[in-house]
Structure formats: C-alpha cells, structure tokens
Structure 1
Amino acid sequence: MTRTPDPAVTARVTPDVTGMRIAHRGMLADTARFAGIARAIAAGSVCGQRRADAIAEYVHLLCDSIHHHHSIEDDVVWPILVASAGSAIDVHELSDDHVQLEAVLATLRDRATGFRASGADRRRAAGELAVALESAHALLAEHIGEEEKIVFPVVDRYVAVADWDRVEKAAKKGGDMKFEVPRVVRYADERELAKMRAEAGVVIRLMLKVLVRAFDKREAIIAG
C-alpha cells in the first residue's frame, strides 16, 4: 500500500535544524546562568535548603538533557550524516568531545549533589559547583561552535528531510518533556515561538501553559 506523504514534510526542501539550535542555546545559557547563581551564593547570597534543592535538581536535569542530546547525536545524527554525506563529513572529533563532556557532566552531578547536602558549608560547595558549571560551559561553547560550523552546512546540503525528522522524533522520545518543553519556550526567539504556536493545536498550547507554569514555580525558588 502506498503511504500518502506528510504535507508538512514534503513542503520543506531542506531539514529544519531549529530544534538543535534551541537545544544548543539552552545548554550554553543554562550553564552560564547557574554558574552565576552559584558564584553569587558563594559570595554570600542567601540560599536555604529549599533553594539549594531546586538548584541541584535543575542542574541534574540539565546534565540528563545534555547527555540525552549527545546520545542522539552519537546514535542517530552521526550515522545519518555519514550515510548521507560520506567523505564530506568527519564526526570523530565531535564524538571524542562527547566523551570528554561526559566526564565533566559526572563531576557536575557530584558537585550538585554535594551542594544540596552542604548545609552550613554551602558557600564553599557553591564555589565548587560554579567551577564545574564554568568548565562545562567553556567546553560546550567550544564544542557547539565547532559542531554547528561543521554539521549544519552538511545537513543543509546532503541530508533528506525525512531522515532529519527521524532525529527530531528520537530527541522527543527519550527526553523529559516536563523539563525540555518549557526550556524550548524560554530559549526560542520570537520568530521561532511564533512558528511553534502556529503549528501547535489547542490541546498542545494548553499543555504548554501547564508545563511552563510548573517550570516557572521552580524558577522562582531558584531565583531566591
């Protein structure tokens, strides 16, 4: 039986990498933002247990998000790029970066756990957390800059829309949507948000409001 093509897919000539751009933007913004928060606490900003719990929870979720993103790249994106572009792409260095970043994420998780449990020693623990966040941010900035310079032109030139849609589906399948969706809303620009709202149905828009509301409650605690 012949399957009718999806009009939303066939209407596009090249893959839409907006989702990956927003994901990258969020990683960089969050690591920088929480490094600043941790530095402020280390310098004396008030941080009770409720705030420490919320900060640590967010950092752990952020680490999970970055790990998931890199897993999708290793397991789905790189094979598609190699199959589509052949010798026009070499992903070995990008894969090596992921190994290095996993070690940084492990340290970041440990520091977040230590910060949550630090009690009276919270300022010192906050300083250690800030160092780990700054290290993650620096490595991510270098990796993402190189990745977008190498990968996006190859996707645009060689990768079929249907193949890139597999990437999008894989990313949604394993991610924590309660965390990821509000972050997309936070870090998308006005043009991207307008496009998402235009494509979303009424039910999805209502779900977005619920998820963003819960996300914002935690953000208020994090802000102190």
Structure 2
Amino acid sequence: MTSTPDTATRVTPDITGMKIAHRAMLADTRRFALIAGQIAAGSPCPQRRSAAIAEYLHLLCDSIHHHHTVEDDALWPIVIAAAGPAVDIHELEDDHVQLDAILGKLRERASAFAVAGDRRRAATELAETLEAVHALLAEHIADEEKVVFPIIDRYVSLDDWARVEQAAKKGGNLRFEAPRMVHHADEQELAKLKAAVGPVIRLLLNVMVRSFDKREAIIAG
C-alpha cells in the first residue's frame, strides 16, 4: 500500500498529460461530429477525404480505448490502494463498459462511411454516433476530473504516478498521440512537454506534426 507524505511537504503528480488527453478526446469527437454533419448537409466529400476521416476515427477509437484500459489496469488499482474508502470509482468503471460498446458502433459507422455509395446518409449516421460518444465522454470526463484528480493530488505518490505514465506509453500510437498533444496543449503545457524530452525527440515530433497536419488538411476538405 502506498504511503502518503505529509500534505505540507508533499510533491504532487503532474497530471498535465491526462488533462490534455481528455481535452483532445472532447475536441475530436465534437469536431468530427460537426464535420460529419456538414457532409450530411452537402459538403463535398470525395473518396480521399472520406478515407482520411475514417482512418482518423479508427485511430481515435484506439486512443480512447487505450486511455481507459490504462485507467482500468493501472490507475484505478493505485487510486484505490492509496485512498481506500475516500474514493468510489464504480460509476467510472461502468462508463468504460458503455464507452467500449459505443466505440464499437463508431468503428462500424466510420468504416461504412469510407465506402458508402450514399455518403450523405452515412455521414448522418456517423454524426449521430459521434454526438453520442461526445456526450458520454463529456459526462465521464467531468465526473472523473471531479472525483479522481483531487485523489491523485492528495494521495498518489510520484513513484506510483510514474507507473501509470509508463503504462500509458505502452501500446500507445506515438505518431497519432504526440501531434494531438501538441495541438491541444496550451503554451505553458507545450513548453513543459518539450522540456521533458531531448532535442532528438523534439526534432522527431516536428516531423510527426507535419505528417499529421497533411492528413488534417485532407480531412478539412
């Protein structure tokens, strides 16, 4: 069981990455719901654009699922061990089950949209699913940040938080995740993220961002 230092001298975990990840999920689901709605209303969507949108949405589903798997397998056990009866995450766990189900539906509709003959109808169905994903994520993230963030701040040790961050790095798609972090971080957060890596990684990040932005241009139409 994790020991908790005196609150007056305690150094708290840096949850910047988790905050940005939440922000990116909400921004992406809202953004693509709007894009799909515009296509349903008649915005041009040639095959290249529909394929890029579907590819991004599949990567987004992978990202969200990975994020919640890390919480289930790494974060929740640490939080429960550290805080004990001070935290109840049963509703958050139930949300993950619901999210997995609706992400499966989003994958299906993204794939159908990519090859649809009736693009506007497929876009309408895709927009509906994205709206549902966004609504569930928004409620879940609000509850998680209200319940879990103060617990992490008060109880979780730096060593235990490092284990969570290490778990997050395993199985994640760096080429997708890193550029999204850059795009959704504010100026102060971005400076902190870049300071934490060496010059080679910063150079590689610039390359990944350029590649990411090329797909973004196609998605934007």
TM-score of the aligned structures, taking structure 1 as reference length = 0.93
For residues 134 and 200 of structure 1, the distance between their equivalents in structure 2, rounded to whole angstroms, comes to 36
Q: Which residue of 2 aligns with 1:52?
A: 50
User: Match for residue 144 of structure 1?
Assistant: 141
For residues 88-119 of structure 1, the C-alpha deviation after alignment (integer angstroms, 9 at most, x for no partner) is 11111100000011111011001101100103
What secondary structure sits across from 1:30 in the alignment?
A: helix
Give 1:198 deviation, angstroms: 2.3
What does residue 158 of structure 2 align with?
Answer: 161
Equivalent residue for 1:93?
91
Is residue 203 of structure 2 the alignment partner of residue 206 of structure 1? yes
Gaps of 5+ in 2: 1-9
Write the letter of the residue equivalent to 1:199.
A
Shift of 1:201: 1.4
Q: CA RMSD in A?
A: 1.1
Q: How does 1:20-39 map to 2 (within 5 A)?
A: 20-39=18-37
Aligned counterpart, 2:174: 177
Structure 2 length-normalised TM: 0.95
**Higher deviation after alignment, 156-165 or 195-204:** 195-204
Which letter does structure 2 place at the counterpart of 1:19?
G
The one-letter code sitting in structure 2 at the alignment partner of 1:85 is A
Equivalent position of 2:190 in the other structure: 193
| 2:84 partner amino acid | G
> 1:199 Cα shift?
2.5
Distance in 2 (CA, whole Å) between partners of 1:197 and 1:70 is 25
What amino acid is the match of 2:212? F
Partner in structure 2 of residue 7 of structure 1: none
Shift of 1:156: 0.4
Aligned residue for 1:80?
A: 78
After TM superposition, what 4+ stretches of structure 1 lie above 3 angstroms from structure 2? none
Matched, 1:107 2:105: yes
Per the TM alignment, residue 195 of structure 1 is displaced from its structure 2 partner at its CA by 1.2
Residues 58-110 of structure 1: per-residue CA shift (max 9 Å, x gap): 00000000000000000000000011111111111100000011111011001
Q: Distance in 1 between matches of 2:175 and 2:138?
A: 25
- Give the aligned residue type for 1:73: E
User: 1:174 is paired with a residue of what secondary structure?
Assistant: coil
Residues 173-209 of structure 1 deviation map (CA, whole Å, 9 limit, x = unaligned): 1100010000000101111011122232110110001
Instruction: Specify the SS of the correspondent of 1:45.
Output: coil
User: Aligned pairs, how many?
Assistant: 213
Unaligned runs of 5+ in 1: 1-11
